Structure 1
Amino acid sequence: MNLPDLNLLVALEAVLAEGSVAGAARRLRLSPSAMSRTLARLREATGDPLLVRAGRGLVPTPRALELRDRVGPLVEAAAAMLRPVVPPDPSSLVRDFTLRCSDGFAESFGPALLRRIADEAPAVRLRFMAKTDKNSDLLRQGRVDLETGVLGGGQGPELRIQALFGDSFVGVVRPGHPLAQGAVGLAAYLAARHVQVARRDQGGGPVDAMLEAGGQRRDVAVTVGGFAPALALVREMDLVATVPARHTAALRAGLIEFPLPFAVPALSISMLWHPRNDADPGHRWLRELLRSLCAAQTPSGTVSTPQSS
């Protein structure tokens, strides 16, 4: 496909706006002879003389009059595309964003995020999409704008990644559970009945991996796919859930947490996005908002910690 010289659009806009070769030459900083040659090219490209002599001046043809109303906005729109992006005023931003995250992240950070959006960008709408696996194809397909979670093996090298906060595991039980009083040792932890959080692609996760590395095994009574159902079960039964502290702060309100009696590597919660959105000003605003919120917010659940007796 042979495209015409699109620089001719700029020359056409100048010629039609000025109504003379000399005026167009001054506007474009060309010599009169160079502008005359450009006009000849425009006449050849459009198949129309565009400007014709009438007495001592030039007048536009009907085709030129038709083009004059169209070429100005077209040249301005093209110029706007090639200008550096100006950061938007969030108060005038009208946009829908989809954030794919776990239930725990949505419950712990969602209210503060929505409050900030309502204050800064009231016309922005946010959709939370449940994260059931670590596959990030939805980011690549453009169906998700932003994703949060612990990095796994399904991201792909092209995705952009930024750490949001670190997290560590704690044990959680309901008030009145035998482990709610005093320090919890390894034997008592292993003897208790547990609710395990595991996705199909994760196996038992880092908690069970660390126990198995030491030749230990906990008594798993039930396995669920997320922290929210795990903690819902803990509220009603004498079960132990082992969950990330910050990630589940809102979900753990009113429950008892205790330090684990064995070491589990800390987690790093990150946000991910596709490079297509890297320079998009609205997307950059949302990323910075989420980053600053996660950096500032501390766990807000009403949680007590058992003391040594």
Structure 2
Amino acid sequence: MSTPDLNLLVTLDVLLAEGSVARAARRLRLSPSAMSRALARLRDTTGDPLLVRAGRGLVPTPRAVELREQVGRLVQEAEAVLRPADKLDPRKLERTFTLRTSDGFVENFGPGLLSLLGRDAPGVRLRFIHKPDKNSEPLRDGSVDLETGVVEETTSPEVRVQALFRDRFIGVVRMDHPLAQGEVTPARYAAGRHVYVSRQGRDTGLIDEVLGSAGLRREIVTIVSGFSAALTLARSTELIASVPERHTGNLRTGMHSFALPVAVPEVTVSMLWHPRLDADPAHRWLRERVRELCVGAFSKRIG
């Protein structure tokens, strides 16, 4: 069975609306002979004359009358599918977005993002899920709409990336800790007892490498999987937590923060998404809100 020429639907719609080969030809910017050939093809395809002569004009057959409304609706729906998406109205948007982020991102930026959505897009719901690794498969298979984190070599090259902010590591201790007073030198910092954050359960990291190059070694007495847990321990013990400054702004309230006395490279935190969502108006609107929030959420560096 041959595939029907769907372009004939537009021709049929105009012919039935105009009731004239000549007028339909002018409307479609075709010659009368081309329109006559198109009518012949429609008659052959449908097995019905569709338009028959009555005096000087043409009148529709019962089959044509039956098709008129259906064909018009099909053409309108096809035009709607092929035209650019209407301008997004966030207040009418009803959608759930899944964001894969660190606990620190949720705790520091989540409240502001939810407040913004509640005001501008009350029908939008966010589902935050834990980010245990750098695997890009959840973005690829559609189970995750947006992700935040540091781009690494394992990040899939097909993923879209937009930088949100630069972040640096700082030291954090409770207010009555010895490091809350006086200059924090590399030796004083290394001499303290530390809580180390590692999602992979590693024993040491970049800070230890930098200290080692200066002939120093810090004592790591416990390892946790998140910055929130590290700060909770540091708040009620003598431990020193070394955490990203911007990711932990809300969590460090009531604690003493200081610039690390060793040169540790900053990191760039980005948001990542799959290319299929690049032009989606709702997803683009969400990305813009996340970026605005991250850019405006931090106004002053310490140290």
TM-score (norm. length: structure 1): 0.90
Q: What is the alpha-carbon distance in structure 2 between the residues aligned to residue 62 and residue 17 of structure 1? A: 15
Provide the secondary structure at the position in 2 that maps to 1:126.
strand
Give the unaligned 5+ runs of structure 1. none
Which letter does structure 1 place at the counterpart of 2:210? M
Q: After superposition, where does 1:49-128 map in structure 2 within 5 Å?
A: 49-54=49-54, 56-128=56-128
What CA distance in whole angstroms lies between the structure 1 residues aligned with 2:146 and 2:263? 31
**C-alpha distance in 1 between matches for 2:66 and 2:220:** 77
The answer for the alignment partner of 1:140 in structure 2 is 140
Q: CA deviation at 1:129?
A: 1.5
Q: Report if aligned partners of 1:191, 1:218 keep a CA contact under 8 Å in 2.
A: yes
Q: Choose 102-111 or 178-187, whichever is displaced more.
A: 178-187
Note the residue ranges of structure 2 that are not aligned, 5 or more in a row. Answer: none
Alignment partner of 1:187 is 2:187: yes
Give the drift of 1:183: 1.9
Q: 1:93–1:121: 8 Å Cα contact kept in structure 2?
A: yes
How far residue 202 of structure 1 moved from its aligned partner, in angstroms, is 6.9
The answer as to 2:18 corresponding to 1:29 is: no
Q: Could you say which residue in structure 1 is the equivalent of 2:165?
A: 165
Q: What is the count of residue pairs matched by the alignment? A: 303
Aligned counterpart, 2:237: 237
**Residue 101 of structure 1: CA displacement?**
0.9
Q: Which amino acid aligns with 1:199?
A: R
Matched, 1:256 2:256: yes
Find the residue that maps to 1:106 and give its secondary structure. Answer: helix
Q: Secondary structure, in 3 states, of the residue corresponding to 2:268?
A: strand
Q: 1:192 to 1:3 in 2, by over 3 A?
A: farther
Work out the CA distance in 1 between the residues paired with 2:76 and 2:137: 37
User: Could you say which residue in structure 1 is the equivalent of 2:4?
Assistant: 4
Counterpart of 1:295?
295
Q: CA deviation at 1:57?
A: 4.0
Contact 1:134/1:153 (CA < 8 Å) preserved in 2? Answer: no
Q: Amino acid of the residue matched to residue 186 of structure 2?
A: L
Q: Check whether the contact 1:250–1:299 (CA below 8 A) recurs between aligned residues.
A: no
SS in 2 for 1:258: strand
Matched, 1:44 2:44: yes
- The 1:217/1:31 distance shift into structure 2, 3 A limit, reads same
Q: Cα deviations across residues 248-277 of structure 1 (Å, max 9, x unaligned)?
A: 101111111111111100111111111101
CA distance in 2 between partners of 1:2 and 1:138 (Å): 40
Take 1:201 and 1:273, find their aligned partners in 2: how far apart are those partners? Answer: 27
Note if contact 1:197-1:204 (Cα within 8 Å) is conserved in structure 2. no
Which residue does the alignment assign to 1:219?
A: 219
**Residue 203 of structure 2 contacts residue 223 of structure 2 at CA under 8 Å; is this kept in 1?**
no
CA distance in 2 between counterparts of 1:104 and 1:253 reads 14
| SS of structure 1 residue aligned to 2:264 | coil
Instruction: Tell me which amino acid in the other structure corresponds to 2:157.
Output: P
Q: CA RMSD in A?
A: 2.3
Deviations 1:179-226 (A, max 9, x none): 222222222222211111112187744323323444433211111111
Distance 1:147 1:202 in 2: 23
Which residue type is aligned with residue 226 of structure 2? G
CA distance in 2, matches of 1:121, 1:182: 48
Q: Deviations over 1:9-66 (max 9, x none)?
A: 2111112222332332232122222111101111222233222345554333343333
User: What residue in structure 2 maps to residue 265 of structure 1?
Assistant: 265
Please say if residues 175 and 256 of structure 2, whose CA atoms lie closer than 8 Å, have aligned partners that are also in contact.
yes
Match of 2:247? 247
- Structure 1 residues 47 and 206, CA, compared in 2 at 3 Å: closer, same or farther? farther
CA distance in 1, matches of 2:81, 2:23: 26
**Partner residue in 1 for 2:274:** 274
Q: What residue in structure 1 maps to residue 286 of structure 2?
A: 286
Return the alpha-carbon distance in structure 2 between the equivalents of residues 30 and 284 of structure 1: 41
**Counterpart residue identity of residue 188, structure 1:** R
Distance 1:87 1:205, change over 3 A: farther
Q: 1:158 to 1:203 in 2, by over 3 A?
A: farther
Q: Distance in 1 between matches of 2:211 and 2:140?
A: 36
Answer whether contact 1:52 1:59 (CA < 8 A) is retained. Answer: yes
- Aligned residue for 1:112, secondary structure, equals helix
SS at match of 2:154: coil
